[in-house]
Amino acid sequence: MMKRFLSAACFTALVAATPAWAHFQMMYTPQSALTAGGAMEMKVVFTHPFDAGHTMDMEPVDEFYVIQKRGEEGEAKKVDLKTYLKEITWDSKGSKGKAFEAKLPASVVRSMGDYVFVLVPTPYYEKEDEEYIQQFTKMIVNVGGVPGNWHEPVGLPAEIVPLDKPYANWTGGVFRGVVLSAGEPVPFAELEIEYLNHEPDMKKNAFSPKGKIEAPHPAFEAMGIRANAQGEFTIGLPKAGWWGIAALGVGPVDTYKDKALAQEAVLWVQVTDMK
Amino acid sequence: MWKVLLLAIIALASSSAFGHTAIMSCFDNGDGTITCEGGFSDGSSASGITFRIAQNGKSVMESKFDEHSEVTFPKPYGRFSAILDGGSGHLIEVRGENIVQ
């Protein structure tokens, strides 16, 4: 009995010390600031981006679309992209999981302006926690440099609205945003920030086994911060590449199929070196 | 004094669109026509701004960007340049050979 207690205690301690439980819904494309429109490829993976940890099997996607707008006076156009999703297997240092890719033709991303890509996954059941997780995810691309709707809420149940362009950030700068739940700011929202540390290989559908940096301490892998009283947050951007921001459990719906549901908001931000 | 201030305000207001970079992008529609989109880096519209097609250094067509900041025109034969002419140094030229579908 004592032995079982000790091994259970050891397991609990191990779980508590493991920082890799920050799930991130990834929407990845190599470049978000495009000089011209054209065909574009995207990978949709539910994983742990800092350490290329366990990749979860994704369920079929509820919604996948883009809202495009050129200029402040332009008309926002919504295009359903679900038809382009194709199931793939993503390799995360040997941990393989069901994911998706989307090969978008030039006709989708042709005009100048902002493209707000939105993914609404089916809630994922996390057996260990006996709860569902649903991460409403946004990734914003710009073509040509004429801005559009990068700062406009899409109207998701849980959403991070950028206060800075997610595709135009220099290394060493800061990024700001607001956490919304059903359109209202979430005071002191809990956020996690992760660096996409293992370069995605678009051909192999895999993370590079070697990370770009090493964290000196678990708290540097999934960095936990809080929004302020207005639901706003600011993060520093110390390294070029992609950064994922997740607002945890902020959505208004908390049950799904008689189990607890965490509705979360994810936004991806790309950082570029000054050269 | 007030006249000077008023003139300064008018000058600032009227130049607001020119503190930003003019941008133009063109693509071949694949049906014998080309569409050029104009705009500014702050999201301002290019509607009403002059658009020209030049061949051999001469302007062969002149138009204005429409309410959607776009111009569509038949693809010219031979070498040409599409030009957004916003005045005050806002001249953007896209060469025909760089316009693809």
Task: Give the span between the Cα atoms of A168 and A166, in whole angstroms.
Answer: 6
A206 and A92 Cβ atoms separated by less than 8 Å: yes
A198-202, A226-230, B9-13, B94-98, range with the lowest pLDDT: B9-13
Probe site for chain B from A75, A109, A110, A146 (most B CB atoms < 10 A)? A146
Check residue B89 and give its pLDDT: 73
Check residue B80 and give its pLDDT: 97
User: Counting one residue from A and one from B, how many pairs have CB atoms under 8 Å apart?
Assistant: 50
Check residue A5 and give its pLDDT: 43
pTM of the model: 0.88
A77-92 per-position pLDDT tens digit = 999 999 999 999 999 9
Q: How many CB atoms lie within 10 A of CB A33?
A: 17
Q: And the tokens for A157?
A: 């149940």
Residue B45: list chain A partners with CB under 8 A: 71-74
Residue A71: list chain B partners with CB under 8 A: 39-40, 43-45, 69
Probe site for chain A from B25, B27, B35 (most A CB atoms < 10 A)? B25
Give A134 to chain B, closest Cα distance, Å.
33
Check residue B18 and give its pLDDT: 52
Check residue A234 and give its pLDDT: 98
Quote the radius of gyration of chain A (alpha carbons, Å).
19
- Which residues in chain A come in under a pLDDT of 50? 1-20
Minimum-distance CB partner of A112 among B21, B37, B45: B37
For residue A11, the 8-state DSSP code is H
A196-206 per-position pLDDT tens digit = 999 999 999 99
Give A193 to chain B, closest Cα distance, Å.
29
For residue B17, the 8-state DSSP code is G
Confidence of residue B19 (pLDDT cuts 50, 70, 90): low
CB-based contact, A110 to chain B, within 8 Å: yes
Window 39-58 of B, Cβ < 8 Å to A: 39-45, 47
Interchain CB distance below 8 Å, B43 and A110: no
What is the torsion angle, in degrees rounded to the nearest 10, for the CA atoms of residue A166, residue A120, residue A88 and residue A194? 40
Check residue A177 and give its pLDDT: 98
Task: Give the span between the Cα atoms of A207 and A51, in whole angstroms.
Answer: 10
Encoded amino acid at A146, one letter: V
Interchain CB distance below 8 Å, A74 and B68: yes
- Could you report the predicted ipTM of this complex, rounded to two decimals? 0.78
B45-60 per-position pLDDT tens digit = 999 999 999 999 999 9
Interchain CB distance below 8 Å, A147 and B44: no
Q: And the tokens for A243?
A: 């950064």
A223-262 per-position pLDDT tens digit = 999 999 999 999 999 999 999 999 999 999 999 999 999 9
For residue A113, the chain B residue with the least C-alpha distance is B43
Check residue B86 and give its pLDDT: 87
B60-84 per-position pLDDT tens digit = 999 999 999 999 999 999 999 999 9
For residue A145, the chain B residue with the least C-alpha distance is B41
Give B96 to chain A, closest Cα distance, Å.
15
Interchain CB distance below 8 Å, B43 and A148: yes
Encoded amino acid at B17, one letter: A
For residue A148, the chain B residue with the least C-alpha distance is B43
Give B13 to chain A, closest Cα distance, Å.
18
